[in-house]
Homo-oligomer: A and B are copies of this chain.
Amino acid sequence: MSKKYVYFFGKGRAEGDASMKQLLGGKGANLAEMVRLGVPVPPGFTISTEVCKYYYDHGKTYPEELKDQVLKAMKELEEATGKVFGSPENPLLVSVRSGAAVSMPGMMDTILNLGLNDETVEGMIKSTNNPRFCYDAYRRFMQMFGDVVLNIKHEYFEEELNKVKTEKGVKLDTDLDADDLKKVVERYKEVYKKAGHKFPQDPWDQLWKAIDAVFGSWMNERAIKYRELNGIKEGSLLGTAVNVVAMVFGNMGEDSGTGVAFTRDPNTGEKKYYGEYLPNAQGEDVVAGIRTPYPLTKLEEMMPDVYKQLLDIFEKLEKHYRDMQDIEFTIERGKLYLLQTRTGKRTPFAAVRIAVDMAEEGLITKEEAIMRVSPDHIETLLHPYFEPETKKNASLLAKGIAASPGAATGIIVFDPAEAERMVKEENKQVILVRPETSPEDIAGMAAAEGILTSTGGKTSHAAVVARGMGKPCIVGCEAIEVDEKAGVIRIDGKEIKEFSWLSIDGTTGEVFDGKLATVKPQGLEGPLAKILQWADEIRKLGVRTNADTPRDATVARNFGAEGIGLCRTEHMFFEEERIPVVRQMIVAKTKEQREIALEKLLPMQQEDFVGLFKAMEGYPVTIRLLDPPLHEFLPKEDEDIKALAEEMGLSYEELKATVEELHEFNPMMGHRGCRLSITYPEIAVMQTKAIIGAAIQVLKEEGKTVIPEIMIPLVGHINELKYLKKIITETADKMIEEAGVDLQYKVGTMIEIPRAALTADEIATEAEFFSFGTNDLTQMTFGFSRDDYGKFVKEYIEKGILEVDPFQKLDRTGVGQLVKMGTEKGRSTRPNLKVGICGEHGGEPSSIEFCHITGLDYVSCSPYRVPVARLAAAQAAIKHGK
């Protein structure tokens, strides 16, 4: 039996279904599914993605069986429509569209009205009694076919069209009648000739050329770039399918029209129908943003029955797909056709709300709700917004359509390529301002802080893409005239130059002059709080925060942090009034001198810890002992050394000598971490005193529960830990005994040196907890200095040597192996060992998933990543079972 490549749908029968996305593409699979659901859909057939793969694997040829299968499907289509492809009497017209398993809006080619030629146009006139409409369809088809299939510049067509208008002395297309358009068709034939082509009169010839073009568009630059930007991996998709669908026309009069709709509001997530309707128009008019559409209620006004039918379909589709749907429909002479349904893109805010609402409606489970929200969404929701007072007094320039929420500020740039360059090379903050955007602009949009267009609606390219990116975007801001040549935008007669600051609020559609101050959102509320609460019920990993100040600790706690996983004590050392004392400690020549300086630091450090313990009452607070090499606290340049020497009452030579003595060739692997405290145990003693002293103070004075965890950095050998643990416990136990309090504390270690992971079984005999420092662990496992690897890592990723930057996403194969080994070995000698992670990876979803799989107890991340981590941890638990 020959392989099946073509799948028919229509007349209540469909060979495919929604589960066959990989094979039929999203559009094809959903069209088939809608037919199965009894939703009115124009009939058609889908050529599978396997043909696309075959096409590229076999030098752009097709499987032998394909021709017959297409012929057969076309026969069925003729039966279903009662029309005949290429018939001069009652011709069947079709659209030819791409459709991959993953939606790539606007990236690949589409051809409408295929099947028209000099003969069939006459047949169409017979059946529609509308010669103007038919010749308009014909000339549109010729233009589209010429452009898409034969790469004839569309300006050439526009030129001829304009000439005819000029000759007649009119301005609008609609002022041309059937005869004028017939003339245009003849002129278009000349355009083909001039370009060295002949317009194919044979509909089958048209069809195969169009199919070629669609398959060919899979590998066009735009599509490749889109897949790259959206992380769609080479080979994860077979290719695109081709959908050949009977044409329906929304531009056949006032009883016709076209629209797009969402079953819920894609901006807010509110449960209300949301969409746009354009009477007497084809779908591309809406997408192209040429005419500004009406809200969906216009349809209710004009055709209440059809509107009701549409609402029923909305209900049916949402229930069936159990998610918010993005729908395209066309009404041809009062008859409704669904052209497409797909899961609708939404803003992060809407994503959360829809997920929560649907779970509460009982449409999906809590787990599904959690899986529907991307951790990135959460992060976006926590992004800054304009400071309200500033905003009140800001100069409002214009108001457009709020297409993607959030506030952004940057300098105006018109050219997307320039925007990309300025961000990358000059580290500028940019707002991309354009009449409209098109798929080539994607890289520029990605680079920009926000996007502003003067035309287009909520479903225009700019709006859809910006929402997908979670970037603030305003569209259809018609008050703004973009004059690229003059390098200005004009609003109400006022000119603003390119490269001036502009601020946009994508939530309200407001455009402001200048650079507005932004604030961070205050906290978690509404649906976001709810979904995170559900996440907390499900997740197995604890979520702590990396915080060095009471302020950060409080923010993090409000975001749901369950303790501090990493407090870097050295950050406290850099404060203005402390650094002189720290330096005094460093230049000390004897233990006694050093102890005098440490004695001065002690009350300062203790005060810090008091604040942290209060902020984290009842939760563990993990404090890491001094980590960086001492030279980081001293200046490097001669000028600065001279100044400091004077300040400290030292000779320049003396201080210079200390700086030189402390210089290291590879400080990252030098005298730092626990190595410092082993050389200068008095530092560990001071820090222990500050920690335990603070804990006793908070416990005694405020009766608050305090759980200090003292963490020793950079341990590679059990004896390092043994040596310092003895010093720490001796100091701490004495203080606790003298204070007569019941204070429990733990002494544990960072696991950040490969040897520590390799010998974790030994180390766990001393360590009461582990915290993986995956920043350093990644450095040493890869041998990549974080300060230097920037010089080659880009090239590594470009050349495909690394898939991602291992400092951003935990390398499971290598570094992950050490994390796993460290955890397992550690627990082999101390079964109840608490294990966490406090590197940057602690806030990155894929790394959090790995931590869950590996059985860590908690992750620790920066305060603003805490909600992200809560969700990601729950998703990991759902994905891999609790």
Contacts and interface: CB of A to CB of B under 8 A. Distances in A.
Interface of A: 664-671, 675, 678-679, 714, 716-717, 719-720, 723, 752-755, 758-759, 762, 776, 779-785, 787-789, 791-792, 795-796, 799-802, 811, 813-815, 817-818
A717 B803 CA distance: 11
A639 to B, nearest CB: 16
Contact of A723 (B670, B782, B801): B801
Contact of A716 (B679, B758, B783, B818): B783
A783 B788 contact: no
A717 B755 CA distance: 19
A647 B566 CA distance: 53
Q: Which of A678, A754, A783, A795 has the most CB of B within 10 A?
A: A783
Contacts of A780: 669, 754, 780-781, 783
A679 B665 CA distance: 23
A781 B758 contact: yes
A795 B676 CA distance: 11
A787 B752 CA distance: 20
A783 B714 CA distance: 8
B782 A755 contact: yes
B678 A720 contact: no
9 contacts: A665-B788, A670-B791, A678-B795, A678-B801, A752-B783, A753-B782, A754-B818, A755-B814, A758-B814
Contact of A796 (B678, B753, B811): B678
Given A666-B788, A795-B679, A800-B719, A783 B813 contact: no
A720 B678 CA distance: 38
Contacts of A799: 678, 723
B678 A787 contact: no
B781 A669 contact: no
Given A759-B813, A792-B675, A802 B666 contact: no
Contacts of A789: 669-670
A461 to B, nearest CB: 11
Number of identical monomers bound together in the oligomeric complex = 2
Nearest to A817: B758
A664 B666 CA distance: 9
Contacts of A679: 792, 795
A762 B53 CA distance: 29
Contacts of A779: 669
Given A668-B669, A716-B783, A776-B783, 8 more contacts: A664-B791, A669-B779, A670-B789, A675-B792, A717-B801, A755-B783, A759-B814, A780-B780
Contact of A801 (B720, B796, B814): B720
Name which of A723, A758, A789 has the most chain B CB atoms within 10 A of its CB: A758
A357 to B, nearest CB: 45
CB-based closest 6 A-B pairs: A666-B785, A669-B785, A665-B787, A755-B814, A670-B788, A719-B801
A156 to B, nearest CB: 41
A442 B790 CA distance: 32
B755 A669 contact: no
Contact of A783 (B753, B762, B795): B753
A780 B785 CA distance: 11
Query: Most chain-B Cβ atoms within 10 A of its Cβ — which of A666, A671, A789, A799?
Result: A666
A246 to B, nearest CB: 49
Contacts of A815: 755
Contacts of A762: 813
Contacts of A787: 664-666
A436 to B, nearest CB: 11
Contact of A758 (B776, B800, B802, B818): B818
A802 B665 contact: no
Nearest to A762: B813
A387 to B, nearest CB: 38
A667 B665 CA distance: 7
Nearest to A795: B679
A796 B668 CA distance: 18
Nearest to A670: B788
Contact of A781 (B752, B754, B796, B814): B754
A755 B776 contact: no
A254 to B, nearest CB: 62
A626 to B, nearest CB: 14
B782 A716 contact: yes
Contacts of A675: 792
